[in-house]
Amino acid sequence: MKKYGLLAGALCLPVLFACSESSQTASAAKDVDQKSELEATKASSEIAATDEAKIASGVDYHSFANPDEIRVTHLSLNLAANFETKQLVGDVTLDIERIQPDSNTLVLDTRALTIQNVTVNGQPVDFSMGEKDEDLGTPLSITLPEGADKVTVAYTTSPSASGVQWLTPAQTAGKQHPFLFTQAQAVHARSFIPLQDSPQVRVTYDATINTPKDLLAVMSAANDPTTERDGEYEFTMPQPIPSYLIALAIGDLQFKAMGERTGVYAEPALLDSAAKEFEDTEAMLEVTEQTYGPYQWDRYDLLILPPSFPFGGMENPRLSFITPTVIAGDKSLVSLIAHELAHSWSGNTVTNATWRDLWLNEGFTTYLTYRIMEMIYGHDRFKKEAVLGYQDLENDVAALDENDEILAIDLRGRNPDDVFSNIPYEKGALFLREIEHKIGRENFDAFLMQYFKDFAFKSITTDTFIAYLNKTLLAQYPDKLDAERINTWIFQSGIPEGAPHPESDAFVKIDATRDAWLSGETKAVDIDTTQWTVHEWLYFLNNMPASLSTEQLAELDAAFSLTTTKNNEIAHSWLMIAVENTYEPAYERLYSYLVTIGRNKLVKPLYRELSKTPEGKAFAKRAFEEAKPGYHPLTVRANEGFVN
Ligand SMILES: [Zn+2]
């Protein structure tokens, strides 16, 4: 934002609604030197208009690459994983297409890579590294000989590559073998492959990966569950995907089938419990196909990662990466699987063109997640999950800057990882639910099925989506939908007035139970929780008043053993209350929770809350320092500000 002072205010697209900023500036200029002020205003709004047109047309501010001149279409990776030095070593051959026939400079994104050489047909060619940017890395410019259509870059990754995490045996479930996994979203693919690291450049790929002989490599590609474990593994990805979906993991992995097209890879210690927990995956795949069109990616498998994985899941195509923190034993947290599966339609098949457009990916996926959960587990569970999601959104709207509450967020000059909040997810989903309510579910489902078909294997901008809406739903239902309301959802902060407000009868009862306990009418031990699922627990705890006495907390803890709960989400809600009220009996669990779990959604709110008092901050710092070697770089970056 700072880099682009001209547009410091809310992003305002003249195509879509009147831009009032420049006219206000003009009237304020009257008393000064009117003429020159007006000229300056005109010049600056012209630059602003050009900038806005660039954003609307999908210019990616988070990549140095030049796909409009020369575009990479395929990658051949040849890498060896060295667990001693924590490096990937090898080369990549890029197939290129000249969009501008006379272009001869290929620009790639890199981050902390050591480039050994660049060759075309075995002959070295000139290359140079540009200026390093803290968030975006370093551009690599390669001068291509005339007619060259393949270029090979030999390179080594840094042991601290932002997209690669190397775990020691002690950090795994089995404690015997090391583990590696990559996490490329948003702009971390460039830390392990020199490439055009923009979601609007789609590539197919093949790969040969060498590992220690007793380990198995898997990728976001066709995986063969019966492959011989010999330390050399081959992969092909025939569908063109954006770079942030290229993924690799290496570990002591085994496979178990869950259905005809679905299975799970995990360390042996987790394999059976994961396969049981996620056994409904095949059914989820089937209902999603029936509602939104065919699954385009052949198999759908899950990879269970060690607990340091920074996210709940990552929708790497054909092989979603999943945190083990959702294996609760009762399928209560499997909406995460529905979410990652839904990405096979929104995100992986229809992709956001830039990180500003992430809501097209996450908002649609969150909407689909609710629908899949409803189809598999029924309407009551859907209503409960919708209320909890809405409360998460309300919390973010209360905490975030106004500009960060906009679906089409302005991310210029910022780290694209800043886009991740409940806004693209829950606000995006709520927007789609409003359209569904207005035109009817059947009609909206038909629209989505056609949308996924029309934009299959394309990367699109918010503006492309709006133009598509104009041509389709706005033309079909002029009495039910209007452009102004749609602009409010996409370009204004907060939750629009009159938005759908999810409610759940089951939660009305929980409110009454909580009130009765708070007023002293009911004792905690007398509350009947036998029918409660994780949803009731989260709603019960998340809506407690900000301040509770130590006696009250001790009463809850004695009645429900909250400090020792095995459910990581319930533990999170309880530990938040413990920190807010400095309930010390829970601090030992809090410490081990922070040290063993690296999922950012679960640890970040705890660090933020702890950092509010000097004692809390000192405690947080101790836990953070111990946890840091096992945390993913993204979790480190997201939380180090709270402890320093
Ligand atoms: Zn997602």
- 564-583 per-position pLDDT tens digit: 999 999 999 999 999 999 99
Assign 561 a pLDDT band (cuts: 50, 70, 90). Answer: very high
| Ligand 1 centroid, distance to 430 Cα (angstroms) | 15
Report d(CA 288, CA 102) in Å as an integer: 46
- Which secondary-structure segment (H or E) carries 166? strand 164-167
| Ligand 1 centroid, distance to 118 Cα (angstroms) | 36
For residue 418, the model assigns a pLDDT of 85
**Strand 262-266 versus strand 254-257 pairing type:** antiparallel
Least-confidence region, from 19-33, 133-147, 359-373, 561-575: 19-33
Least-confidence region, from 219-223, 242-246, 324-328: 324-328
Q: What is the pLDDT of residues 456-503, one digit of tens each?
A: 999 999 999 999 999 999 999 999 999 999 999 999 999 999 999 999
Short-list 396, 404, 253, 379, CA closest to 319: 253
Assign 45 a pLDDT band (cuts: 50, 70, 90). Answer: low
Please provide residue 93's backbone torsions phi and psi, each rounded to the nearest 5 degrees: -110, 125
Query: Does residue 49 carry a pLDDT above 50?
Result: yes
Task: State the residue for tokens 């460039």.
Answer: 190
Q: What is the dihedral of CA 463, 464, 468, 470, to 10 degrees?
A: 20
| Ligand 1 centroid, distance to 404 Cα (angstroms) | 18
Tell me the pLDDT of the chain averaged across its residues.
92
For residue 34, the model assigns a pLDDT of 46
- State pTM to two decimals: 0.90
What does the domain layout of the chain look like in residue ranges? 19-60+345-491, 63-197+201-251, 505-643
Assign 47 a pLDDT band (cuts: 50, 70, 90). Answer: low
Query: Does residue 35 carry a pLDDT above 50?
Result: no
Please provide residue 395's backbone torsions phi and psi, each rounded to the nearest 5 degrees: -60, -40
Average pLDDT estimate for 358-363: 98
Assign 441 a pLDDT band (cuts: 50, 70, 90). Answer: very high
Query: Does residue 33 carry a pLDDT above 70?
Result: no
Query: Does residue 139 carry a pLDDT above 60?
Result: yes
For residue 553, the model assigns a pLDDT of 98
For residue 11, the model assigns a pLDDT of 32
CATH-assigned architecture of domain 505-643 = Alpha Horseshoe (1.25)
Burial of 526 (0-12, 13-18, 19+ CB in 10 A): exposed
| Ligand 1 centroid, distance to 303 Cα (angstroms) | 16
For residue 310, the model assigns a pLDDT of 86
For residue 57, the model assigns a pLDDT of 76
For residue 15, the model assigns a pLDDT of 32
Report d(CA 82, CA 159) in Å as an integer: 10
Average pLDDT estimate for 143-150: 95
Active site residues per annotation: 340, 425
Q: What is the pLDDT of residues 412-427, one digit of tens each?
A: 999 998 888 999 999 9
| Ligand 1 centroid, distance to 166 Cα (angstroms) | 24
**3-class SS of residue 318:** coil
Bridge partners, 108 (sequence order): 140
**3-class SS of residue 204:** strand
Show the tokens assigned to 250: 């290496």
Average pLDDT estimate for 352-372: 97
Q: Which CATH superfamily is domain 63-197+201-251 in?
A: tricorn interacting facor f3 domain (2.60.40.1730)
Percent of the chain with pLDDT over 70: 92
For residue 42, the model assigns a pLDDT of 54
Query: Does residue 8 carry a pLDDT above 90?
Result: no
Report the CATH fold assignment for 19-60+345-491: Neutral Protease; domain 2 (1.10.390)
Assign 5 a pLDDT band (cuts: 50, 70, 90). Answer: very low
Buried b / exposed e along 158-193 (16+ C-beta atoms within 10 A): beebbbbbbbeeebbbeeebbbbbbbbbbbbbbbbb
For residue 171, the model assigns a pLDDT of 87
Average pLDDT estimate for 75-92: 98
CA 318, 534, 361, 639 torsion: positive or negative?
A: negative
| Ligand 1 centroid, distance to 383 Cα (angstroms) | 20
Average pLDDT estimate for 545-549: 96
| Ligand 1 centroid, distance to 523 Cα (angstroms) | 40
Q: What is the pLDDT of residues 503-520, one digit of tens each?
A: 999 999 999 999 999 999
Query: Does residue 334 carry a pLDDT above 90?
Result: yes
Query: Does residue 596 carry a pLDDT above 70?
Result: yes
